[in-house]
Amino acid sequence: MLRIPNQEPPLLTNPLLIIFNSTPFQVAVLALLTLLVSTYTLSLFNFIRTRNSQRPGKPAPTLPYYLPGLCHAFDLEWSMASFLANTVKRWGYLSPIAVRAGSFGFTMIVNPSHIRTILRSSRTLTNRPMMAFVMEKWFSTPKEYLRFYAAHDPSTSTPGGTLEHMHDFQVKVSLKYLSGKHLLEMSEKYISILKSRLVNLEIPTDSCTEISDFYTWLQNQVTPSIIEAMMGSRILEIYPDIVEDFWKFEHQVANYSRGLPRWMIPSAYKTRDRLLANIKAWNRLANRESDYAQHGEEGAEWDEFFGTKFIKAREDYLREYGMNEDAIASEHLGLLFGSNANVVPAVFWYIFESFKDLELQESLKTELQDCLKPETGDLDIPKLSTKPLLQSTYAEVLRLRVTTTTMRTNEDANFKLGPDYAIDKDVTMTIFSSITAYNRLAWEAARPESIAKPLDEFWSERFLVLRNKKEANFSLEGLTECWMPYGGGQRMCPGRHFAKNVIIGTLGLLLELFECELVDVQQAERVKPDTKWVPYGTLPPTKKVALRLRTRTE
């Protein structure tokens, strides 16, 4: 008979198995799971109870969470885009929703009626706390000057002798010099500079030039053209690496916001230091060679040192406020960011969508052709804003690709958000454009025909309204709480008109000068916006896009 020898059970040699099978470890895991489940259960109960309460003036319910203390910090850091989408998918657009990440917190405003209330309350609400945060964390404004941005009752007088907040004077200067004849002059200057830059590339007429990374190529053409049109040509001469350094800086904005120390991201801080140092050097040169005070009617509209009257007027005010060179350099870096970081990616998406769809491209060409001045063949900038499809395509690009935040705070008292809710004093209320862009119920209520195609699809005709059987007009009427790429209310971005001219005008120039085509249309269909950059502005593409160019002969 076969005898089976006695066998000892195998030893547990895997360290992980030893740990997992140890009683203390099992107890710790069980305790952790119990803590997480009980925390979520309790926070869910409080959320539902607050939301269903009939008490007028109740607080915004806090979104359920698993992590005591940290609350929603992990979700926010892991993927802001997923966090926002999942929140409204589960809880809808009914109530404001309080979000917490440690000591940091804000209240999401998602209900269109609540958004409307906030946008109409510009006299009582402010964005000063956010302004101060951005100026300090992103643009490295010296601490002693942050009071100009954050102070509720500023102690500095304006040239007119009345108390005024720094942001208020900036808006007034921007409204004056980014509209009317000044806007037209700067827009035409941009088109002229970009055209010269593109012509000087000497792209041949008898063969195609392939651009492997169209997005980076556009950055290198559009960004210096915006800088020169707005700030003059000398800054590019004394700082030829400004475009490269700017986009390196822009890539680190999220890390600046997180407050990561210099030793963790040394190259990011070095890039910003280099930008500020060179901007300060340009500012000294401009003040020495250009009379920045001549920004009145008698002054030149543009000069090589300071650029436009807009920059001269800003400089005048900043010096009246007593700001030093470092604070002024931070202001100019902020302006560089505001005029490029969102606009250039939007230019890319506008051109990209028109190149993907040849039928759309031909329709846009027809409208652009009608915007040429008969005597010169140059673009008639004001006429761009009369063409329905050019504008509708532009609005649809911004709806899908811009993910900005509109932040408001009441520094004086609790803020009544309709009859049901009251937001505590000094709590930041945040409206995310990426949420308003996809609120189907709001779009349907405002304009039913706008959702003939799903909101998660690009549709160039979404903003067209049929006025009669033959003619469609572009319109944003009734969409204030749905379309918010520039924010809303009286504090809407004052540079939006220049941005629009840059976006549409750049496509016009490319189609005028070159025959353009995507190298791989099928691959282009897989290019999506990179949602890792939500909510820091216009989203870049996830993949490189290759393009062929050939100079037109006609």
**Binding site per annotation, positions:** 493
Residues placed in the known binding site for heme = 493
Strands (E), 89-167: 97-101, 104-108
149 in Cβ contact with 169 (< 8 Å) = no
Both tokens of 543, joined, read 């993949």
- The residues that bridge with 518 in the sheet, in sequence order, are 547
Cα 498 to Cα 186: distance, rounded to the nearest angstrom = 8
Burial of 536 (0-12, 13-18, 19+ CB in 10 A): middle
398 in Cβ contact with 346 (< 8 Å) = yes
3-state secondary structure of 518: strand
Cα 181 to Cα 297: distance, rounded to the nearest angstrom = 11
Strands (E), 284-358: 302-303, 307-308
Distances (CA, A) of 24 to 18, 27, 285, 351, 546: 11, 5, 69, 61, 57
Supply angle C-alpha 156, 142, 266, rounded to 5. Answer: 165
Nearest to 329 by CA among 256, 254, 272, 394: 272
494 in Cβ contact with 178 (< 8 Å) = yes
Question: Residue 406: what are its φ and ψ, rounded to 5°?
Answer: -110, 115
Cα 424 to Cα 416: distance, rounded to the nearest angstrom = 9
Cα 273 to Cα 515: distance, rounded to the nearest angstrom = 41
Cα 447 to Cα 477: distance, rounded to the nearest angstrom = 9
Cα 381 to Cα 147: distance, rounded to the nearest angstrom = 39
* Beta strands 209-211 and 547-551, pairing class: antiparallel
What is the per-residue burial (b if ≥16 Cβ within 10 Å, else e) of 315-328?
bbbbeebebeebbb
